[in-house]
A = this chain, B = another copy of it.
Amino acid sequence: MKQKRFILSEKELPTRWYNIQAEMKNKPMALLHPGTKQPLKPEDLFPIFAEECSRQELNQTDAWIDIPEEVLDKYKSYRSTPLVRAYDLEKALGTPAHIYFKNESVNPLGSHKVNSALPQCYYCKQEGLTNVTTETGAGQWGAALAYAAKVFGLECAVYQVKISMQQKPYRSMIMRTFGATVEGSPSMSTRAGKSLITQDPSYSGSLGSAISEAIELATTTPGCKYTLGSVLSHVTLHQTIIGLEAEKQMEMAGEYPDVVIACFGGGSNFGGLAFPFMRHNLLEGKQTQFIAAEPESCPKLTRGEFRYDFGDESGYTPLLPMYTLGHNFHPANIHAGGLRYHGAGTIVSQLIKDKLMEGVDIPQTEAFKAAMLFAQTEGIIPAPESSHAIASAIREARKAKESGEEKVILFNLSGHGLIDMTAYDSYINGDLGDYQVSDDEIRRNLQDVPVV
């Protein structure tokens, strides 16, 4: 019998994160101060983020950053995650492709998010802070932060996008089990939330609106910092533990990926898996293809514009050079709550611009169809977000079948879908639909983007 799962021993775990910014030929453009429109220095970010995270965010020099001992120790509770060869999925597809997935769903919090929650909370604690706050969509980031905050003895307050809170009530219960307080966003507890509710009392929120509320809480509360689950470069940096492990594990399997795929919300699980492999494209001329799978209903990579835009809906964040649908874009209520975000991280945006990777957009029902096939072959019910990566991997495996190529496909199973069962129920009952975005809607929202 052939080996299915590849796992690293604790001694083999990576001890450094990989900072791709340092090795990109065209670096991401500078973040700009929203008031002065001047390039940001780390100090400008200190009021919002932990100081070490602020420095990491703008670090374009050091390719390798040491993982603190205390964080490594916590990583060891659940890492390495398995690299799995999906033999049964391959068989069902009748493809000659070799399909591998990195299974980030088996960690205690059920998604990759904890990889960055732990260092962010660690740095906050080190810097003498007492509280952290954040936004969350589907709740995977909120749950991870709630746990990490408990680990390092911090209080934690989470703003969860209202529609996700309703779709996935168990996630807020998970956060409360770890001791966090959770509020639906937009809420009446912040200026930003009140203003959004006044404009549209029925608005069910987005990541952009929840970010505004959390930043407002952080900047108005002593001892409290804001933390983010994706988009920013320091978050993606922490997630490179995924790809660094996968690199060693693919070596154990005796293969190297021709295609690397991950779903795409802000970019952290994508970059986390992809960047350590992309390094070999940048430095050694490898020709691996990189695909970021976004939802058809929130198509910033495939149909957005590369512009300076805010990271949040109320314009509290720095201006980020990114592919965006406009910070006022309200994504449809798809079940992949973690992908309902208007913009892409600055690194990925630069890479797309330089054609070093590509985006694809996946309709919701195609994602669920792929998820059902994956569940019934590999026995794991994937998160709706991760299902976009599966759908994209299946597209590639079908292409390989047509061309007869033994392509090696690697994708990230960023999380499980056990908290998303109502979405599966809707799909099985035929109640799920797709949501196309009109050119008009994109144009209209891009008009609100500030001109720099």
Closest to A110 in B: B418
| A170 surroundings in chain B (CB, below 8 A) | 170, 418-419, 421-422
| A283 surroundings in chain B (CB, below 8 A) | none
A40: interface (CB < 8 Å):
no
The smallest beta-carbon distance between A286 and chain B, in angstroms, is 29
Q: Which of A189-212 contact B (CB under 8 A)?
A: none
Q: Please determine whether A178 and B375 come into contact, CB atoms closer than 8 angstroms.
A: yes
A62: interface (CB < 8 Å):
no
Tell me the complex Cα distance, A327–B425, Å: 35
Stretch binding the partner chain, chosen from A48-56, A72-80, A297-305: A72-80
The smallest beta-carbon distance between A317 and chain B, in angstroms, is 30
Q: Please determine whether B422 and A73 come into contact, CB atoms closer than 8 angstroms.
A: no
A348: interface (CB < 8 Å):
no
Q: Please determine whether A174 and B421 come into contact, CB atoms closer than 8 angstroms.
A: yes
Q: Which of A357-386 contact B (CB under 8 A)?
A: 372, 375-376, 378-381
State whether A424 and B76 are in contact (beta carbons under 8 Å apart), knowing that A69-B1, A379-B108, A379-B151 are contacts in the complex.
Answer: no
Closest to A428 in B: B176
Tell me the complex Cα distance, A151–B380, Å: 12
The smallest beta-carbon distance between A139 and chain B, in angstroms, is 11
What 1/0 flags go to A1-13 for Cβ under 8 Å of B?
1011101011000
| A72 surroundings in chain B (CB, below 8 A) | 1
User: How many copies of this chain are found per oligomer?
Assistant: 2
Tell me the complex Cα distance, A176–B422, Å: 11
A177: interface (CB < 8 Å):
yes
A106: interface (CB < 8 Å):
yes
Tell me the complex Cα distance, A88–B151, Å: 9
> A376 touches which one: B150, B419, B428 (CB < 8 A)?
B150
A47: interface (CB < 8 Å):
no
| A3 surroundings in chain B (CB, below 8 A) | 10, 76
Tell me the complex Cα distance, A119–B424, Å: 27
Q: Please determine whether B173 and A424 come into contact, CB atoms closer than 8 angstroms.
A: yes
A147: interface (CB < 8 Å):
yes
Q: Which of A56-79 contact B (CB under 8 A)?
A: 69, 72-73, 76-78
Closest to A424 in B: B177
| A4 surroundings in chain B (CB, below 8 A) | 10, 76-77
State whether A106 and B106 are in contact (beta carbons under 8 Å apart), knowing that A173-B421, A177-B381, A379-B147 are contacts in the complex.
Answer: yes
The smallest beta-carbon distance between A274 and chain B, in angstroms, is 25
State whether A108 and B378 are in contact (beta carbons under 8 Å apart), knowing that A170-B418, A173-B422, A421-B170 are contacts in the complex.
Answer: yes
Tell me the complex Cα distance, A73–B4, Å: 9
Closest to A169 in B: B421
A397: interface (CB < 8 Å):
no
A334: interface (CB < 8 Å):
no
| A378 surroundings in chain B (CB, below 8 A) | 77, 108
Tell me the complex Cα distance, A380–B109, Å: 7
A292: interface (CB < 8 Å):
no
Identify 16 residue pairs between A and B in the complex whose beta-carbon atoms are under 8 Å apart, listed by A's number: A1-B76, A3-B76, A5-B76, A77-B378, A106-B106, A109-B379, A114-B379, A147-B379, A151-B379, A169-B421, A170-B170, A170-B422, A173-B421, A174-B421, A176-B424, A177-B376
Question: 10 tightest CB-CB pairs across the interface, nearest first?
Answer: A173-B421, A170-B421, A108-B379, A108-B380, A173-B425, A106-B106, A4-B76, A177-B424, A418-B418, A150-B376
